[in-house]
Structures are given as C-alpha cells and as structure tokens.
Structure 1
Amino acid sequence: MSLQAGTRSSSSLTSPTSIGGALIEPQTIERRILGSRRSALIFALTVFVATVIPVLSVPISALVATQGQWDFPVPMALTLGLLVAGCAAQSAMLLVSDRHPALAVAGATAIYLALAIGLGVPKWLVPMQAVIAIALFLLATRTTALRGLLSLVVVVVVLVVGMLLWVLSLGEPLGVAIGFIVAESIAIVAIAGGAAVLGVWWGAQTRRLLLERHRADTARREHEKRVEEARGRERARIAQELHDVAGQHLAGLIALADAAMSLAPEHPERALELVEDVRNEGRFAAASLAGALADFRAVGATPIEATRDLRRADELVSYWQKRGMPLTIQSSGPLEELPAVVSTTAYRALQEALTNAAKHAPGAAVQVDLAHSPGMLELHVRNEPPRPGTEPLPGLNLGWGLTGMREHIDLLRGTMTSGDTADGGWGVRVRIPVAHID
C-alpha cells in the first residue's frame, strides 16, 4: 500500500487540540484510577471507548464515502477486528501502570507502532497516541524528572525510527519520507512531551505536598512531645508540692497535739482549745492536699498556683508563728530580683529547715536571716536548744532532708552547712551565688 493511500483520513483526527484537551484529565485521574481494581478497570474501559470510536470512525467514514467499496488489501473485517483488539490491548496496559509504569509505556508504544506499520495506516491511529501520553504521564508522576524525560525521549526515538524505516521500506521519495517523519515527530513530541512534562510537574507537586504533610505531622508530634514533657515537669513540681505540704502541715499538727498533751493535766481548757486548732489545721491540710491532688490529676490543666519562692517567705513564717513557733525573720536586699530557680530552691531549704526545727526542737525559738547581696544569696536558720521535757516529733521525714537539700543547692554551685550552735541549738546556713545565673 502506498503512503498516500494509507493516510486517507478525516483531517479532524489529526488535530492535536482535541487530543491535547483529553490530556488535561489525568492530573486528577492519577490519584483515583489506581486506588482500587474496580476504579482502574473503569478508567481503562473509558480510555478504550474514547480511543476505539475515533479510530474506527476513519475507515467507516471512508467506507460510507465510497459506497461500500473497500480499497485496502487487508480484509475489512480483519482490519476492524485488529483495530478494536489493538485499542483494547493498549488500554489494558494502563492497568499495570500502578506497579509497572515503564512496562505500561513500552506496551502502549509497541501496540501502536505494530498496528501503524502492520496495517500501514498511521493516520488512522492518531487517537492511540493519547494512550501513550497517558502512560507517560502516569510514569512521570511516579519517578524523577530526569527519568520521566528520558522515557519521553526513548518513546519518541522508537516511534520516529520505526516510522522512518517503514516509510523507506515503501520506496517513497526521500522528500516525501522526510516531510512525513517531520509531521509525525512534531505530533508525537507535542502530545507525549506535554503529558510527560505535566506528569513531572504533578509528581513534584504531589511530593511537595506529601513532604509538607510529613513536616506538619512531625511538628505535631514534636509539639505533643513537648506538651507531655511539660506535663511531666508540672506533675513532678506538684508531687514535690504535695511532699512539702504534707510535711509542713503534719509537723504543725503534731506540734499542736504535743502541746495539747502537755497542757492537758493542768490546763484542760487550754488543751481543748489546742485540740480545736488541731482539727482546724487538719481541715486546712486536707483542703491544701485536695487542691494539689486536683492539679496533679488534671492532665493538661494550668497550675492554679505558681511555684512558691522567697517572695512568699513571710507567709511561711506566719504559718509557723500561728502554730506556736517563736519565729523571727530578718531580710535584706531585693529578694524579688532573684533568679526563679535560686528563689525557689532557697524557699524549699527554708521550708525544710523550719520543719526540722519543729520536729527536733518543738517550742524552741527560731531565727531566720535572709540576705541578697550583689552576686550572692545567704540564708541562715538557727533554733535554740529544745525546751526541757520535750521530745522530737516522729514521722516528719517528708521533705527533701539534709541530703536532698544539699544536692539541690550543689546544682546551683552553692553550699550548705549544718550543725550544732554554740548554745546547743541547731543551725543551717545556705549560700547560693547568683551572678552566673540569668
């Protein structure tokens, strides 16, 4: 068959506009057709119908125009059957593009080239170039830009070389062969190239969105981790608060109970008043512990009360004074300007020292000296010897203890000393440098 005979077709089928318009859809199809076997089959069937109708319209139109005269050497039934089978096989290749996109491109290209050369009717098969373009698009979305463009080059070279060899085998003049190959090359490059470039862009956009989603998920997990760590720190703070509240209030309760027992034989009315104080103190302690436990159990809740520091030292002193401790305090320097960690640690040390004084020397006078000089905080707590006839109060080892106090102060490069005083009492001295702490 001559080249001129093999190219008789409707001019509308050679227009790249309609085919290019069909290539717009895969950018949304790519996300859906391979999601399930059913959707992939529906897509392949749709491509088959969209391809086989324009392919068959050319020979059928020619048959109608010639009033039923079939001028081609291949029988009409065989020609139409091969065209339908070729379109079906080419569309079926898209079913494997999910796992084997390169195989889908190779299969679609080979089927098109075999029909075009075997039947000698390349112009009839222009719609089948769209299937090659779809396969290239799906390949380009799943690989790198370089591999996608290399696949395009390979497809174009195979098609152009195959067509050139076929034209030369027909014995056509060189000028006719060159003109035909140039026209075919432009059409193939326009269709397949556009699809490949679109696939590369779509793949890059998809990967960018996936990366942003991954970063967002990572940021969310990091945020949740930081929140959980903050909750852990808050729980630890509240646990320490429970420790200190229990120690302080129990020391007060035992001190009041001890005083009531001492007064009961000679002053029963006063002893009853102290028992009433014990009851009130117990209620206050229960309320304080309940509040701290509520904070402890409320995951993610904002603490009701900030961590106590030396700015509340007067409250601590007042607490013990109300419970019968002869306690005085002298302070100098701007305590409110202390770094938070220093002020909190010193408050805990003061709290522990006063609890120990109530335990080991109930009723003894206690003196507290606080001094904040440039670069240094000094705390000195000393109590007089226990009164005759008093015994240490048991069961108050609920705070940091001397070892715990020293460990916390050492972390701040401070020092703590404790021991007997000259008058037989007990003293605790704490020194914490503040110049190196922001």
Structure 2
Amino acid sequence: MPWTWVSDRSRRLRDAWHVYDAVVWDRWLAVVFTGLAFVPALSIMSVQFGNLPGRPADAFTIVLILAQTLPLAVRTRWPAACLAINGASFVVHETVGYPMQFGTVTVYLALYSVGAHQERFRRVIAAVLSAAYVVLCVTMHLLGSPVLLSEFLVFYLLFAACWVLGAFVRGQRSQEAERRRLAAVAATAAERARIARELHDVVTHHVTGIVVQADSTQFVVTSPDRVGTALTTIGDAGRRALAELRHLLDVLEATGESATPVTGTMRDLVEQTRSGGQPVTLVEDGDQPALPIGVRLALYRAVQEGLTNAVKYAEGRPTTVRVDYRDDRVEAEVTNAAAVVSVGARSGLSGGRGLAGLRDRIGALGGELAAGEQPDGGFRLYASIPVGGAE
C-alpha cells in the first residue's frame, strides 16, 4: 500500500531524527543553510522585504549572511538568541538594500524555533517582536519603500504563522510528554496493586491458618498431643509463608517471563488446609491441560482465597473444592457449610482485599468471579477462566 509505505518511511525518519542529539542536528542544519546561501541560483527563493533601491554586494554582505545562517546551530538550545541575531541581520540586510540571497529564508526557521522551543518570556518576546516589526515598517516607508500597508500586513501574518506553527508543535510535544507521564503513573499504580495482591494472596492464607490454630490451642491445653499437633501445624504454616515470601521477593527483583510467581499443586494446597484441621474434599473433573502461567496462577489464587475464607469464617466445617478442566476454560468452585459462629466473630481476620484483588486478576484474563452466601448459610466462591486468557 503506498500510504503504508509513506507512513513507515516517515516513522523511520522521525526515529532516526531522535537518535541524535538536537544540538548535533542544528549544527548540521546551520552548515547546510550556510552553504546554500552562497548558491546564486537559489536567490530567487529568498525573502525580499521592502523593495528598497539595490546596493551591490560587498564584504559586509558575507558577514550578514553568516549572521543569519550560523545562529541556527543554537536554535533549539537558545531559540531567543538565535532569533535576535538572525532577525537583526535580516533587518540590516533589507534596510541597506543588499541583493537577494537564500540565507534570508532562515528568519522563518528562527521564528518557528522560538515558538517551538522557547520556555520563558514567550509573551514578552512576541510583544517585542510585534513592536519591532511596526518600527521596521515605518523605517522602510521613510526610506522610500514602495510596499503598501496591506503587503506589510501579509508579511506580518506570514511571520506570525511560523511562530504559531512552532507553538502548535510545542503543544503536541507537551501533550505527548503528559501522556507518557500518565501512562508511567498508571503502570506504577498497576504494579503496586499487583504486588499488594500477590502479598495478600501469599500471606493471608498461611497467616489465617496460624491465627486459627493459635486461637484453638487455648481449648486443648489439657491434651498435650493435640497441643503438639497444633504447634506443628503453626510452625509448618509459618515456614511455608516465609518460603513463599522469599520466592515472591525473588520474583519482584526479576524481569521478563521469570517475574511470575510459581505456585504449588492444587492437591498440595488442599493438603495444607487439611493439616490445619479443616475438612476439605477435592474433586477434579477432566484432564488437566498445560495451562498458561497466568491462568494457572489465577486458578490457584481463587481456590486459595476460597479455602482462606472457609478457615476464617467456617472453621472445622466441611469444605469442598471442585475443579473442572474444559477445552476452552477452567472452572473452580469452593463451598463450605454454614459457619457455627457468626462472621463478625472473626471480623478481625478480614481485610476486605482478597475478593476485590482476585476479581481484578480474573477479569484481566477475560474470566468471571462470583462469591456470596448460600441459602443454607454456607459460602460459595466460583471462578471461570478462559484457557486462552494469558500466555
């Protein structure tokens, strides 16, 4: 496609322009315009302002040409200084009546540069330039210029258009910089949310088990065997939490594909919960495919969250985990019987972040999450995740 080819070439040219420092390009620009200014054939493209009686070229003409072209070397770094030198040389060249030369077109580029790159005193500079232009027009008229007022006005509009074009480019550049800044802020916020979600998922499951076991030991102090079992469970849960935290910290320092937490198996997760005293039944339907890491992690976190809530609010009550592996998606359901104590009795264990973070995680993969109390007083967590939700 011709338009695609032009767009691609323009993009490559723009990328190549940004590879080098602007100062380097400006220096080359000054060299090129200086060379072109001494080409007689290009004089027909010059800016002729005032049409005053002609004067033959002399050595001072060369000085004026160089004073118009060489300042382009600093047009990006010091645009106001570039325009001051360039503009003064242009005015002298035109009021003296030297022959036309291509270097006079650089006044357009100098005006554009101020509009595009000048950071401070933009309004002051615009006002000074407008006043100076009025003085120049009056001077030209007193020197006998045949140019009409309407022609002077056209020249002013042309000069102003160069400034406005530069200001437009400056505005576009500022908007792009702001867009990149906001994108960086959003990416940082998303990364913080991801880290918080991972920390919540890693810590809450194990710490909940530790708290529940620690609370239950006060009721079994008369049974050394049960106390020993509870303390062993607490120690195992603590060690698993530390191991997962260390792994998560290693992941956060990594980059690329390796920066994804690796989870255990579903059976390991269920067995860990059983060892804490929670009766859990695992039912798996279908053959487990090679799931993408994002889907596998979301599935693991969904079941983990369901078991954590069961331990929090329905300690010791029968809990069922069902995982259905299908061709296009995987579904997980965690249900538990009604709690013996009210939810408020263990409200101190809840931070309210688990389900919200899990819903965001699964939603990002194109899946859905449902969680709520059942008519019989139990609780159900259901997650459905497309197998192609993450690669």
TM-score (norm 2): 0.50
TM-score (norm 1): 0.46
Q: Which has the larger radius of gyration?
A: 1
